[in-house]
Structure 1
Amino acid sequence: MLKPALTDFFHYLQVERGLSDNTLKSYKRDLSKYLNYIEKVLQKTTWNEVVRSDIIGFLYTLKDDGNSAATIARTISSIRLFHRFLISEQMVNQDASLHIETPKKERKLPDILSTQDVEGLLAIRGNSPLQIRNKAMLELLYATGLRVTELISLKVSDLHLTMGFVRCFGKGSKERIVPLGDVAKEAVDNYLQYGRGILLKNGIEETLFVNQHGRALTRQGFWKILKSIAKDAGIKKRITPHTLRHSFATHLLENGADLRSVQEMLGHSDISTTQIYTHVSKTRLKDVYKSYHPRA
Structure 2
Amino acid sequence: MATTDYPFSRKLSPSINRLVLGFPEDVQEFFLEMISADRSQQTISNYAYDFALFFDYLKEKGIALEEIRPITIKRFFRHIENGYERVIQIQLRREDPITGEVERKWIERKHYRENTYAGKQRKRASLRSLFRYLVKLGALDKDPMEEYEDASLRSRSKKRVPVFLTREEALRLIEAIATYHGKKKLRKSNWHEYRDRAMLLMLLNTGMRVSELVGLNLNNVQRDHNNVHIFVLGKGGKERVLKLNQTAESALSHYLQHRPIAKDSSDALFLNKNRTRLGRKGVNEALQKYVREAQLPPKSSNISPHKLRHTLATLLLSNGENLRVVQEILGHSSIQTTQIYTHVINSEKDEALDRLDQWT
Could you state the TM-score of these two structures normalised by the residue count of structure 1? Answer: 0.65
Question: 1:152-191 maps to which residues of 2 (within 5 A)?
Answer: 152-162=214-224, 163-191=227-255
The alpha carbon displacement at 1:161 in A equals 3.8
- Unmatched 5+ stretches in structure 2: 1-57, 80-116, 132-140, 182-188
Question: CA–CA distance in 1 between the matches of 2:72 and 2:289?
Answer: 36
Equivalent residue, structure 1, for 2:206:
144
Residue of structure 1 in register with 2:272 after alignment: 211
Matched, 1:115 2:179: no
- Measure how far apart 1:122 and its partner are: 1.3
For 1:228, which of 289, 292, 315 is the aligned residue?
A: 289
SS of 2:281's equivalent? Answer: helix
Distance (Å, rounded) in 2 between the aligned partners of 1:242 and 1:132: 21
In the alignment, which residue of structure 2 is the partner of 1:239? 303
8 Å CA contact retained: 1:161, 1:185: no
Q: Flag structure 1 segments of 5+ consecutive residues without an equivalent.
A: 1-9, 33-67, 82-87, 90-94
Look up the match of 2:259: 196
- Equivalent position of 1:263 in the other structure: 327
Whole-angstrom distance in 1 between the partners of 2:246 and 2:314: 20
Q: When you count strand as a share of all residues, which structure comes out higher? A: 2
Q: What one-letter code is carried by the residue in structure 1 that aligns with 2:209? A: R
Relative distance call for 1:278 and 1:204 in structure 2 (3 A) is same
With over 3 angstroms needed to count, the CA separation of the structure-2 counterparts of 1:133 and 1:15, relative to structure 1, is same
Percentage identity across paired residues of the two chains? 31
| Greater Cα offset, 234-243 or 133-142 | 234-243
Report the alpha carbon displacement of residue 164 of structure 1 after superposing the two structures with TM. Answer: 2.7
Counterpart amino acid of 2:195? R
CA distance in structure 2 between the aligned counterparts of 1:287 and 1:229, rounded to whole angstroms: 31
CA–CA distance in structure 2, aligned partners of residues 106 and 143 of structure 1: 29
1:130 paired residue number:
192
Aligned to 2:64: 15
Q: C-alpha separation between the residues in 1 aligned to 2:304 and 2:220?
A: 25
Q: Aligned pair count? A: 230
Is this contact kept in 2: 1:167–1:176, CA < 8 A? yes
Distance in 2, Cα, partners of 1:146 & 1:107:
23
CA-CA distance at 1:104 after TM superposition: 5.7
Query: Could you say if the C-alpha distance between residues 287 and 205 of structure 1 is closer, same or farther in structure 2, counting changes exceeding 3 Å?
Result: farther
Which one of the candidate residues 157, 167, 172 is aligned to 1:105? 157
Q: Which amino acid in structure 1 is aligned with residue 204 of structure 2?
A: Y
Structure 1 CA distance for aligned equivalents of residues 119 and 268 of structure 2: 38
**CA 1:160–1:17: 2 relative to 1, 3 Å:** farther
Change (3 A) 1:15 1:209: same
CA 1:16 to 1:260, structure 2 compared with 1: closer, same or farther past 3 Å? Answer: same
Q: Distance in 2 between matches of 1:281 and 1:256?
A: 10
Secondary structure in 2 aligned to 1:176? strand
Distance in 1 of aligned mates of 2:351 and 2:216:
37
Structure 1 residues 16 and 226: CA distance shift in structure 2, 3 A: same
Question: For each residue in 1:96-137, what CA deviation from the matched residue of structure 2 results, as whole angstroms up to 9, or x when unmatched?
Answer: x97999466212111101111000111132542111111000
* Structure 1 residues 163-190: Cα deviation after superposition (integer angstroms, max 9, x where no partner): 3321111111211111211110111011
Q: Return the letter of the residue paired with 1:149.
A: S
- C-alpha separation between the residues in 2 aligned to 1:292 and 1:105? 31
CA RMSD in angstroms, aligned pairs only: 4.0
**Rounded Cα–Cα distance in structure 2 between residues aligned with 1:159 and 1:142:** 17
TM-score (norm 2): 0.54
1:276 positional shift: 0.3
Distance 1:178 1:166 in 2: 5
What's the CA shift string for 1:242-283, capped at 9, x where partnerless?
11100000100000110101101111111101100111212x
